[in-house]
Chains A and B, each alone.
Chain A
Amino acid sequence: MAMVDNKPELVEMTKAQKKAQRRRSVAIGLVLAAFVIIVYVGSWAKMGGALFSRPM
């Protein structure tokens, strides 16, 4: 990022840009949460009751 007089040049986002960024962040959060749930539920469905009865 360009620097002027040792001060960082900041980008001032418009209202629409801030709103879009927030909505993208929420969407990424939701997708990641959904992925965690999918892996968790999928593991249970695949291994069933045997999930904890495997030799260590």
Chain B
Amino acid sequence: MALVENIESNETLVSEALPGDYFALLKPRVMSLVVFTAFVGMVLAPAHIHPMTALIAILAIAVGGGASGALNMWYDADIDAVMTRTAKRPIPTGKVTRGEALAFGLTLSVFSVLTLGTLTNWVAGGLLAFTIFFYAVVYTMWLKRSTPQNIVIGGAAGAFPPMIGWAAVTGSVSVESVILFLIIFLWTPPHFWALALFKLRDYDMANVPMLPNVAGERHTKLQILLYSAVLVTVAAAPWPLGFAGPAYGVTAIVLGANFLRHAVAVWRMEDGDATMVPAKKMFGFSLVYLAALFSVMLAEALVSMALAG
């Protein structure tokens, strides 16, 4: 609804929200990662899918991911308003009301799941529904405000897309898709904790329990290092497991060594360091790391498909 009755001032307000404001509710940057990783999952899957079905499946996964973003913004509007990183989102700025965001998110959730389930299979549709539920309910409504481990468990929501892409093609979940899931799942905590270290004040103001403001900087740095060590080991697994080639293996090892180097630099950073340069560098590198891993995996798969004719 675009018409809003303001009971307190007895004033009728008419929305000035533009389609772009609704699009912003979908968290387009997160959506681009969802699209990319789901696409990689589809290409790696050892089965055939009609290109048009694949395109629609990617779109449905993207919209489903976006819908969970809208539901997150609906519930977290109070937190978003006090954090500098999120204060310009459509609800805190008053462009879209919470009710509108909720209706928008729910509508897109239902349509994306039905579309994916009907046009591909219900394993993929079910996984998409579970992902939306996990992000909107388990992470946003439950974990985010109650435990500093929020990002560890909640990170699963962002890790499902390659598994959904794989399931859309094969109709099943396999070891390979679980490894793809694990790479993003294990990548999420060090990535977000690096961000939380230099945005500590933001999370404090919003009363969101992130590891640095609950367990302290020292413990967070150690956790970043430990998760990084497990991550780089799991990230190299697709090569020996045979669903990625040597180019991927070398990339995973070289970038993994760099990831560890950044994690060690963060670990060695002085407590109370105001500039937090190693944490900022690690946050930036973690984005490149994940994008590079999936890009090389994709390139290798496309090249071997082209060679196979």
Residues of A within 8 A of B (CB): 11, 13-14, 16-17, 20-21, 23-24, 26-27, 35, 38-39, 41-46, 48
From the candidates A20, A26, A44, A46, name the one contacting B15 in the complex (CB within 8 A): A20
Stretch of B31-39, B48-56, B76-84, B270-278 on the interface side: B48-56
Q: Is the CB of B115 within 8 A of A42?
A: yes
Given A23-B19, A24-B17, A41-B56, also A46-B50 (CB < 8 A) = yes
- Pairs across A and B, CB under 8 Å, 29 listed: A11-B3, A11-B14, A13-B14, A16-B16, A17-B14, A17-B16, A20-B2, A20-B15, A20-B17, A20-B18, A21-B15, A24-B15, A24-B22, A26-B19, A27-B19, A35-B111, A38-B56, A38-B59, A42-B52, A42-B53, A42-B56, A42-B115, A43-B119, A44-B52, A45-B50, A45-B51, A45-B53, A46-B50, A48-B50
Is residue B304 within 8 Å, beta carbon to beta carbon, of the partner chain?
no
Q: Is the CB of A23 within 8 A of B56?
A: no
Q: Is the CB of B18 within 8 A of A24?
A: yes
From the candidates A23, A26, A45, name the one contacting B52 in the complex (CB within 8 A): A45
Interface of B is mostly: helix
Residues in B neighbouring A43, C-beta threshold 8 A: 119
Given A38-B56, A41-B56, A42-B115, also A23-B50 (CB < 8 A) = no
Residues in A neighbouring B16, C-beta threshold 8 A: 16-17, 20
Is residue B12 within 8 Å, beta carbon to beta carbon, of the partner chain?
yes
Q: Is the CB of A21 within 8 A of B111?
A: no
| Cα distance A44–B70 in the bound complex, in angstroms | 31
- Chain B, residue nearest A21 (CB): B2
- Chain A, residue nearest B14 (CB): A17
Residues in B neighbouring A20, C-beta threshold 8 A: 2, 15-18
Nearest Cβ in chain A — how far from B101, in angstroms?
14
Nearest Cβ in chain B — how far from A41, in angstroms?
6
| Cα distance A19–B18 in the bound complex, in angstroms | 9
